[in-house]
Amino acid sequence: MQTTFPKLLIKHAAERPEAAAMREKEYGIWQSISWQEMAIMVGHIACGLHQAGLKRGEHMVVVGSNRPRLYATMLAVQSLGAIPVPLYQDAAAAECVFPMTNAEVRLCVVEDQEQVDKMLEVRESYPALEHIYFDNPRGLRKYDEPGLGSLDELLAAGEAFSKQHPHFYKEQVEAGTQEDVAAMFFTSGTTGNPKGVVHTHGTLIDRAQAGAEFDHLTSNEDVLAYLPPAWIGQNIFSYAQWLVAGYVVNCPESMATVTIDLKEIGPTYYFAPPRVFEGMLTSVSIRMEDASSIKRSMYKYFMSLAKEVGPKRMDGESIGLFNSLMYALGNFFVFAPLRNNLGFSRVRVAYTAGEAIGPDLFTFFRSIGVNLKQLYGSTETAVFVCLQPDNQARADTVGVPCRGVEIKVADNGEILVKSPGLLKGYYKNPEATAEVLTADGWYHTSDAGFIDSHGHLKIIDRVKDVGRIKGGSNDGAMFAPKYVENKLKFFPHIKEVVAYGDQREKVCVMINIDFDAVGNWAERRNLPYAGYTDLAQKPEVYALIKECVEQVNADLAVDVLLAGSQVSRFLVLHKELDADDGELTRTNKVRRGFIAEKYLPLVDALYGGLTTQFIETVVKFEDGRSGSVSATLNISDAQTFVPVKAAA
Amino acid sequence: MTKKIGDVILDVNNISLRFGGVKALTDISFNVKEHEIRAIIGPNGAGKSSMLNCINGVYTPQEGSITFRGQTFDHMDSRQVAEMGVARTFQNLALFKGMSVIDNIMTGRNLRMKSNIFLQALRIGPAENEEIKHRARVEEIIDFLEIQAFRKTPVGQLPYGLQKRVDLGRALAMEPKVLLLDEPMAGMNVEEKQDMCRFILDVNDEFGCTIVLIEHDMSVVMDISDRVVVLDYGKKIGDGTPEEVRNNEEVISAYLGTSH
């Protein structure tokens, strides 16, 4: 279908002028904006931007949280054939300089005073930034910097212009084609400068449609937009699919009110990374502990039932008459009120993506009747590559390829994707484009994985991290450190894990206990401890962790590919891995190489067969001082299992 | 852009206040101009809160008079003061702990409600329209103070810094001409203090309120006030811009002590 986002807007405004397009909570009341109002506002902003000098093909930056007028601005920019570049609202000024210089941005529309201050700071090192428009004028009355103006003024100027040139806006929209660039998303590179991912109207609309068809989305859906619009996930859910399916996008009042707003709106289509679901489960668990004993025992009884039969029920399998009756009872007393409290009363489809989700967490939501599923995709693929069908959701796979997608596993285990939604390229970076997008049309995801026997894609690790075991009984077996680490981290008692095994004969891990969880566990057992280091080295704690490790080994033994990644030896570290000490990245990912160097005696001890090892490390405190922590660590062996395939 | 400071709106003349033999205030005179931020500082027991209490009619001074917008009074009546447009916040937060944030701020609208108690209780006719109008104003204040997430939370459950904001919100609900703030930042951490400073400046700027505040934190006082009065043992020992007060010998000795 030959169309663009602004054309879709005009279509909705013509077909359903009075229907709500967006809602925003203001002064405590949800205020609706109809499709017609939206189209008029977009037209006025477009005229205003045209007068301000925005040219076809030029980039314009939009920064802010989910606000209807900022979404309208993106549409207005696209109406003129220009390209909106959303940037993260919490990025520092220095981080915005590169994208803005790279895209040669002259105009930007931002949300409020905080963002205006940031743009003024950017302008010190990037003077080409001519115009800064703001949505919310609060606190900006005294600013008189050149080129600074309010969105209200821009709208008024645009309205005046459109009265004189009533056909201008429509003509501009008509001139757009689906091959035009629709938006550019900057991906945070772990090394070097961020890369601008260029998408056309065609790629984004095609993927939005594929996703909408897969889950039968209609114009009756309600979505709550609360993640940063600069992230392509949010952009697909509250912009591309909004315009494709024509549903209602709801903007929360502020970041602090998201949980309240979620409950009030009761979205039917929901998306969140695993950490959001984890936060919900934690708050439920904490509040249940404070509940009366009747409620607690009801919760306990029905949750154990739900855990057993809930997921089967969601998968459409029969659970028997008695269980069905009991589940209905549980639904009345526990599950329905719980869903209501979480804001999931009406949810039809909920997705999680971005990182691995723990099986217990995943099962919890499915068992209380929330249709939580996983999907696979990235900025470069316009999100939708694989999705889980309604009754085939699993915690360890990411679903089946959706319409138009072809998947191939390369010899090195890398997943290659061919899809109508692939990026046009990285902006002004042909070398990087050539690396990921080969001439034969395959996009290289740099994720390693495989298609399982049910046709579901399973992601193991980043390709560059996947190694091989060398020597010993598992010589040549695949070793996926992140896969092993995640499996261990899903246990509530384990906070962080570092796994080694590439080019070695066995896998060894260093573990950080979760101080709160293990501390609580120890207190309930009357196990006294003096602090983190003391607790970490308790033989009881080692026994607890050993159980976790052996359970993971038992799981891995069943796995055809990864049976060789079973953990032979482990130790519990005496201090928490910390970004201040350089052991984690700022986004809390373990820096395996750095840790191996820093704790070399421990790694040697793990592989050298010692049972204890003394270690002294320098730590940095938050106030900048440093001190040292020393301890003698125990090292424990863990039982490994014969791979099931080999044994058979 | 510098803000416009108008004429004298509040003039305190030769106020003396005694509790039995204790002289709380002795012969204090100072004035407050429209749209300015006027700070009253001084060591503990200097008479700062007593001074505010005289202005809004909680205490009756034995001597002296107060002129407010051209009218001179020997003593102020607290209801009358409120009706004339003077609101205050309290050092020890006199909020209704069991009531929600909305209801607490709504109490600040009390003076502006016209319909009688029976109509209000039944929520009929003019009372309903009035309530909607007042609620709209309360919502604007909630939005201004960025406490949307706590609308329906009982105030007693909120952290201290937020309670202080609600206290300010209730005073703002009166749409005052003059706002008296009694130690708005006492017991706050640095971040909460910065937020409160921003709110005070915004109230002054956007609502056009004249502000009289008592504060202990010198850096705050010096940053945001236009003029400062310094009290010590119930006497005025300094009056002027923050710069002048900072260089005043008497003020320095009252705060730091002098060597004899």
Tens of pLDDT, residue by residue over A302-358, are 999 999 899 889 888 888 999 999 999 999 999 999 999 999 999 999 999 888 888
* Chain A residues with CB-CB distance to B35 below 8 A: none
The predicted-structure confidence for A140-157, as pLDDT tens digits, reads as follows: 888 899 999 999 999 999
Q: Which residues contact A54 (CB under 8 A, 6 or more apart)?
A: A60, A77, A80, A82, A106, A107
DSSP string, A251-305: E-S-GGGHHHHHHHH--SEEE--HHHHHHHHHHHHHHHHTS-HHHHHHHHHHHHH
Task: Determine the pLDDT at residue A647.
Answer: 45
Q: Is B92 part of a structural domain of the chain?
A: no
Structural tokens at position A545 = 């962790």
One-letter-per-residue 3-state SS of A573-593: CCCCCCHHHCCECCCCCECHH
**A435 φ/ψ angles, rounded to the nearest 5 degrees:** -65, -40
- Averaged over A430-434, what is the pLDDT? 92
Using CA coordinates, name the residue in chain B closest to A261.
Answer: B149
Contact A27 B1 (CB under 8 A): no
Task: Determine the pLDDT at residue A190.
Answer: 57
Q: Is B91 part of a structural domain of the chain?
A: no
Amino acid at site A429: N
Task: Determine the pLDDT at residue A622.
Answer: 67
| Å between B212 CA and nearest CA of chain A | 21
Contact A27 B143 (CB under 8 A): yes
Q: Closest Cα to residue A3, out of A246, A176, A213?
A: A176
The predicted-structure confidence for A592-636, as pLDDT tens digits, reads as follows: 888 999 999 999 999 998 899 999 888 877 677 788 888 889 999
The predicted-structure confidence for B224-250, as pLDDT tens digits, reads as follows: 999 999 998 889 999 999 999 888 888
- Stated as kind and residue range, the H or E segment containing A205 is helix A201-214
CB-based contact A514:A504 (threshold 8 Å)? no
Q: Coil, helix or strand for A452?
A: coil
Check whether residue B4 and residue B76 sit in a common domain: yes
Give yes or no for A15 touching B (CB within 8 A): no
The predicted-structure confidence for B119-165, as pLDDT tens digits, reads as follows: 777 777 788 888 889 999 999 999 999 999 999 999 999 998 899 99
Structural tokens at position A486 = 């995640």
Alpha-carbon distances of A356 from A62, A391, A513, rounded to whole Å = 31, 19, 19
> Which long-range contacts (C-beta less than 8 Å, at least 24 apart) are formed by A281-286?
A281/A361, A281/A364, A281/A365, A284/A338, A284/A341, A284/A342
Check whether residue B132 and residue B254 sit in a common domain: no
Contact B148 A144 (CB under 8 A): no
Q: In what order do the strands lie in the sheet with B63-68?
A: B22-33, B8-19, B63-68, B71-73
Average pLDDT, chain B: 88
Confidence of residue B117 (pLDDT cuts 50, 70, 90): confident
Check whether residue B187 and residue B159 sit in a common domain: no
Task: Determine the pLDDT at residue B258.
Answer: 63
Phi/psi class of residue B50: alpha, beta or left (left: φ > 0; alpha: ψ in -120 to 50)?
alpha
Alpha-carbon distances of A451 from A399, A445, A549, rounded to whole Å = 9, 15, 26
Q: Closest Cα to residue B81, out of B120, B124, B52, B121?
A: B52
Question: Which of residues B175, B200, B217 is at a domain's end?
Answer: B175
CB-based contact B105:B166 (threshold 8 Å)? yes
CB atoms within 10 A of CB A306: 24
Check whether residue B76 and residue B182 sit in a common domain: yes
Structural tokens at position B208 = 């056009």
DSSP string, A301-334: HHHHHHHHHHHHHHTT----HHHHHHHHHHIIII
Q: Is B51 part of a structural domain of the chain?
A: yes
CATH number of the structural domain spanning residue B200: 3.40.50.300
One-letter-per-residue 3-state SS of chain B: CCCCCCCEEEEEEEEEEEECCEEEEEEEEEEEECCCEEEEECCCCCCHHHHHHHHCCCCCCCEEEEEECCEEECCCCHHHHHHHCEEEECCCCCCCCCCEHHHHHHHCCHHHCCCCHHHHHHCCCHHHHHHHHHHHHHHHHHHHCCCHHHCCCEHHHCCHHHHHHHHHHHHHHCCCCEEEEECCCCCCCHHHHHHHHHHHHHHHHHCCCEEEEECCCHHHHHHHCCEEEEEECCEEEEEECHHHHHCCHHHHHHHHCCCC
Distance (Å, rounded) from C-alpha A579 to C-alpha A622? 11
Distance (Å, rounded) from C-alpha A635 to C-alpha A536? 12
Residue B86 pairs in a beta bridge with B178
* Chain A residues with CB-CB distance to B145 below 8 A: none
* Chain B residues with CB-CB distance to A256 below 8 A: 148-149
The predicted-structure confidence for A237-267, as pLDDT tens digits, reads as follows: 999 999 999 999 999 999 889 999 999 999 9
Using CA coordinates, name the residue in chain B closest to A25.
Answer: B148
The predicted-structure confidence for B41-85, as pLDDT tens digits, reads as follows: 988 888 898 999 999 888 999 999 999 988 888 888 888 888 889
Distance (Å, rounded) from C-alpha A227 to C-alpha A192? 25
Sign, CA torsion B215/B217/B218/B221: negative
Strand A29-34 vs strand A20-26: parallel, antiparallel, or unpaired? antiparallel
Question: Which of residues B150, B175, B200 is at a domain's end?
Answer: B175
Task: Determine the pLDDT at residue A291.
Answer: 87
Confidence of residue B2 (pLDDT cuts 50, 70, 90): low
Contact A27 B149 (CB under 8 A): no
Question: Which of residues B144, B175, B206 is at a domain's end?
Answer: B175
Contact A257 B149 (CB under 8 A): yes
Contact B1 A28 (CB under 8 A): no
Distance (Å, rounded) from C-alpha A210 to C-alpha A385? 9
Check whether residue B78 and residue B183 sit in a common domain: yes
The predicted-structure confidence for A547-601, as pLDDT tens digits, reads as follows: 999 999 998 998 878 888 999 999 999 999 887 788 887 667 788 888 999 999 9
- Averaged over A432-442, what is the pLDDT? 92
- Averaged over B4-33, what is the pLDDT? 90
Q: Coil, helix or strand for A78?
A: helix
Distance (Å, rounded) from C-alpha A464 to C-alpha A193? 20
Check whether residue B68 and residue B9 sit in a common domain: yes
Check whether residue B186 and residue B67 sit in a common domain: yes
Contact A28 B148 (CB under 8 A): yes
Using CA coordinates, name the residue in chain B closest to A145.
Answer: B1
| Å between B83 CA and nearest CA of chain A | 27
CB-based contact A49:A72 (threshold 8 Å)? no
Q: Does residue A119 surpass a pLDDT of 80? A: yes
Check whether residue B52 and residue B163 sit in a common domain: no
Amino acid at site B184: P
**Which of residues 226 through 255 in chain A touch B, CB cutoff 8 A?**
253-254
Q: Coil, helix or strand for A562?
A: coil
Q: How far is Cα of residue A536 from the mean position of the Cα atoms in its chain? A: 31
Buried b (16+ CB within 10 A) or exposed e, B86-121: bbbbbbebebeeebbbbbbbbebbeeeeebeeebee
Alpha-carbon distances of A107 from A92, A135, A232, B185, rounded to whole Å = 18, 14, 21, 40
Using CA coordinates, name the residue in chain A closest to B102.
Answer: A28
Check whether residue B106 and residue B39 sit in a common domain: no
Alpha-carbon distances of B27 from A215, B15, B18, B63, rounded to whole Å = 79, 5, 11, 8
**A636 φ/ψ angles, rounded to the nearest 5 degrees:** -120, 145
Check whether residue B193 and residue B218 sit in a common domain: yes
Check whether residue B131 and residue B65 sit in a common domain: no
Whole-model pTM: value is 0.86
Q: Is B144 part of a structural domain of the chain?
A: yes
**The CA-based dihedral angle spanning residues A550, A552, A553, A556, taken in that order and rounded to the nearest 10 degrees:** 170
Q: Closest Cα to residue A105, out of A147, A153, A70?
A: A147
One-letter-per-residue 3-state SS of A4-53: CHHHHHHHHHHHCCCCEEEEEEECCEEEEEEHHHHHHHHHHHHHHHHHCC
**Which of B100, B131, B144, B148 is the best residue to mutate to test the A interface, defined by the most A CB atoms within 10 Å of its own CB?**
B148
| Å between A38 CA and nearest CA of chain B | 24
Q: How far apart are the first and last CA of chain B?
A: 46
Task: Determine the pLDDT at residue A367.
Answer: 93
* Chain A residues with CB-CB distance to B206 below 8 A: 141
* Chain A residues with CB-CB distance to B195 below 8 A: none
| Higher-pLDDT residue of A252, B189 | A252
The predicted-structure confidence for A20-57, as pLDDT tens digits, reads as follows: 999 999 998 999 999 999 999 999 999 999 999 999 99
Domain that holds residue B110: 97-175
Q: Coil, helix or strand for A72?
A: helix
Average pLDDT, chain A: 91
Give yes or no for A290 touching B (CB within 8 A): no
* Chain A residues with CB-CB distance to B142 below 8 A: 27-28
Report how many domains make up chain B. 2
Structural tokens at position B73 = 């009074």
Contact A28 B205 (CB under 8 A): no
Check whether residue B55 and residue B19 sit in a common domain: yes
- Full set of structural domains in chain A with CATH: 5-271 (3.40.50.12780), 466-647 (3.30.300.30)
Q: Does residue A639 surpass a pLDDT of 70? A: yes
- Stated as kind and residue range, the H or E segment containing A488 is helix A481-489
Q: Is B90 part of a structural domain of the chain?
A: no
* Chain A residues with CB-CB distance to B143 below 8 A: 26-27
Distance (Å, rounded) from C-alpha A26 to C-alpha B79? 34
Contact A254 B148 (CB under 8 A): yes
Task: Determine the pLDDT at residue B189.
Answer: 86
